[in-house]
Each structure stands twice: as C-alpha cells, then as structure tokens.
Amino acid sequence: MRQLPSARKPTLARIASSVGDATGGDSTVLGDFNHASFDNGGVKSSFFRDGSKFMVRTDGPDGALHDYAIGYTFGVYPLQQYLIAMPGGRLQALGIAWDTRPRESGGQRWFFLYPGQKITARDFPALDGYRSELELHVC
C-alpha cells in the first residue's frame, strides 16, 4: 500500500459528496446488519438494526463493547466502510468493512481492514468536524 502525498489527501469537507448518509437506509448501507457478527482478535463485533438506525456493537476507546450508530458510509465496490458517531459529535472510521463483491467471488462478508495486526479502537484517531483529514490509502 502506498499513502497519498499530504497535498493530495482530501479533507472530509471535500469528500462529503461521495459519502453516503446512513439514514438513507438500505439504498446506501450495503453491509449485513441482520444480527451478523464478526470476530477479530477476540473482539466480537455485531451488526444490527435499531428501528431505522444501522448499529454496531464493538470495542470503544475504553476497550469495552458499546453500541454505536452508523453515521455515514463510504465506498461501494469492492468494499464499503463506515463512520460511527462517537461522543462529542466526532466521527470514527470503523476498522471493519463490508466486502461488496458477490458471494461467489468471496464477497458478502465482514472483514478487518488491517489483517495480522492487533489494532483496537484506541488506535484510530477520530475525525473532528472538518478540521481533520482522512488518511486515504491506495493499493
């Protein structure tokens, strides 16, 4: 993986038009939120609906499991990533993504974005409004 040069990294404001609001429902959220679960390094995350909200129960900054609302989606193919709403109005990129490829191609499953690495919620910086930049990586 190579990282985009700093000058080419888009700010959250510049990519807002390509990020889907998760309140758009099934048309913008492609992952399995029908009580699906995913285990990574002993942390069992679960994906579910609370009424019209898409939710994930996963480890928080304190290491304990918490329920978080999916605020935004980004990406369509071959994966979709999710931003969760954190306390204080911050957004956090979830370290788990949905493989949108067909099941026959190995898709339609949750996967960890950093295989082989022990990364927890404490390792991800939150996106604080429009001041922070997304760290975009290009394969």
Please report how many Cα atoms fall inside a 13 Å half-sphere around the Cα of residue 133, on the Cβ side.
Answer: 12
Domain ranges of the chain: 21-129
pTM assigned to the model: 0.74
Contact of 95 with 114, CB cutoff 8 Å: yes
99: helix, coil or strand? strand
The tokens of 120 are what?
């927890």
Residue 4: what pLDDT?
42
Residues in Cβ contact with 116 at an 8 Å cutoff, skipping those fewer than 6 apart: none
Q: What is the pLDDT of residue 41?
A: 86
Report angle CA 120, 123, 127 to the nearest 5 degrees. 115
pLDDT per residue of the chain (139 residues) written in tens, 0 to 9: 344 444 444 444 334 334 567 766 778 899 999 999 999 988 999 999 999 999 999 998 888 999 999 999 998 899 999 999 887 888 889 999 999 999 999 999 999 998 888 776 666 655 444 333 344 333 3
**What does the pLDDT read at residue 85?**
81
